[in-house]
Amino acid sequence: MVLFEDRVIPIGERLKPPAEAAGPIASQPVPERVDAAIIGGGIIGLSIGWRLAARGMTVAVFDRALAGAGTTLAATGMLAAAAEHEPGGEALLPFALDSQRRWPAFRDALEADSGIGIDYRAEGTLVAAQNRDEVARLRFRYDHQQRSGLRVEWLNGTEARRREPGLRASVAGGIFCPDDHQVDPRLIVPALVRALRKRGGHLIENATVTGIEASAGRATGVTTQNGVCHAGTVVLAAGVWSADLLRPHGIDIPLRPLRGQALALRTTRQTGTLSHIVWTEQIHLAPKGDGRLIVGATMEETGFNSAVTAGGMLALLEGVHRIFPSSEEMEIEAIWSGFRPTTDDDAPILGNTPLPGLLIATGHHRNGILLAPGTAAAIEEMVTTGRAMETTAALELGRLLRPSPIPHVTGATACN
Ligand SMILES: Cc1cc2nc3c(=O)[nH]c(=O)nc-3n(C[C@H](O)[C@H](O)[C@H](O)COP(=O)(O)OP(=O)(O)OC[C@H]3O[C@@H](n4cnc5c(N)ncnc54)[C@H](O)[C@@H]3O)c2cc1C
pLDDT tens digits along 211-244: 999 999 999 999 998 899 999 999 999 999 999 9
268 and 251, same structural domain? no
| pLDDT tens-digit map of 273-307 | 999 999 999 999 999 999 999 999 999 999 999 99
pLDDT higher than threshold 90 for residue 33: yes
173 and 63, same structural domain? no
**Mean pLDDT throughout 316-326?**
97
Mean of all residue pLDDT scores within the chain: 91
| pLDDT tens-digit map of 346-372 | 999 999 999 999 999 999 999 999 999
The answer to whether position 353 is within a domain reads: yes
| Model confidence band, residue 405 (pLDDT cutoffs 50, 70, 90) | low
The answer to whether position 56 is within a domain reads: yes
The answer to whether position 114 is within a domain reads: no
| Other beta carbons within 10 Å of 87 | 10
The model carries a pTM of 0.93
228 and 169, same structural domain? no
The answer to whether position 406 is within a domain reads: no
The answer to whether position 60 is within a domain reads: yes
> For the purposes of burial, counting CB atoms within 10 Å of the CB of 228, is it exposed (0-12), middle (13-18) or buried (19 or more)?
middle
The answer to whether position 109 is within a domain reads: no
**Mean pLDDT throughout 393-404?**
82
Residue 27: predicted pLDDT: 63
Of 131-140, 192-201, 300-309, 395-404, the poorest mean pLDDT is in: 395-404
**Mean pLDDT throughout 150-164?**
97
198 and 172, same structural domain? no
pLDDT higher than threshold 50 for residue 176: yes
338 and 274, same structural domain? yes
240 and 271, same structural domain? no
Say how many Å lie between the CA of residue 369 and the centre of ligand 1.
9
Last residue of some domain: 343, 358, 379?
A: 343
In the chain, % of residues over pLDDT 90: 86
Compare 329 and 411 and report the one with higher pLDDT: 329
Residue 19: predicted pLDDT: 41
The answer to whether position 130 is within a domain reads: yes
Report the C-alpha gap between 295 and 407 in whole angstroms: 44
Residue nearest to atom 15 of ligand 1 (CA): 366
**Mean pLDDT throughout 43-72?**
97
Name the domain count of the chain: 2
Say how many Å lie between the CA of residue 349 and the centre of ligand 1.
14
Residue 323 sits in a domain whose CATH number is: 3.30.9.10
Ligand 1 pocket (Cβ < 6 Å) reads 18, 39-45, 62-65, 69-72, 74-78, 208-209, 237-239, 241, 245, 260, 262, 296-297, 338, 340-341, 362, 364-370
Report the C-alpha gap between 264 and 288 in whole angstroms: 10
Residue 225: predicted pLDDT: 86
Residue 226: predicted pLDDT: 85
The answer to whether 139 touches 126, Cβ cutoff 8 Å, is no
Residue 25: predicted pLDDT: 52
Ligand 1 pocket test target in 15, 48, 212, 340 with most atoms within 8 Å of CB: 340
Which atom of ligand 1 lies closest to the CA of 362? 26
Identify residue 223 by its one-letter amino acid code: T
243 and 140, same structural domain? no
How far, in Å, are 56, 136, 138, 300, 387 from residue 125 at the CA level?
Answer: 37, 19, 14, 24, 34
Which atom of ligand 1 lies closest to the CA of 245? 41
160 and 133, same structural domain? yes
Residue 5: predicted pLDDT: 36
**DSSP states along 105-159:** HHHHHHHHHH------B-S-EEEEE-SHHHHHHHHHHHHHHHHTT---EEEEHHH
The answer to whether position 405 is within a domain reads: no
Residue 229 sits in a domain whose CATH number is: 3.50.50.60
272 and 337, same structural domain? yes
173 and 273, same structural domain? yes
Residue 213: predicted pLDDT: 97
Say how many Å lie between the CA of residue 269 and the centre of ligand 1.
33
**Mean pLDDT throughout 29-35?**
96
Residue 386's domain comprises 2-75+186-255+345-399
The full length of the chain comes to: 416
239 and 379, same structural domain? yes
145 and 19, same structural domain? no
Residue 401: predicted pLDDT: 80
Last residue of some domain: 343, 378, 407?
A: 343
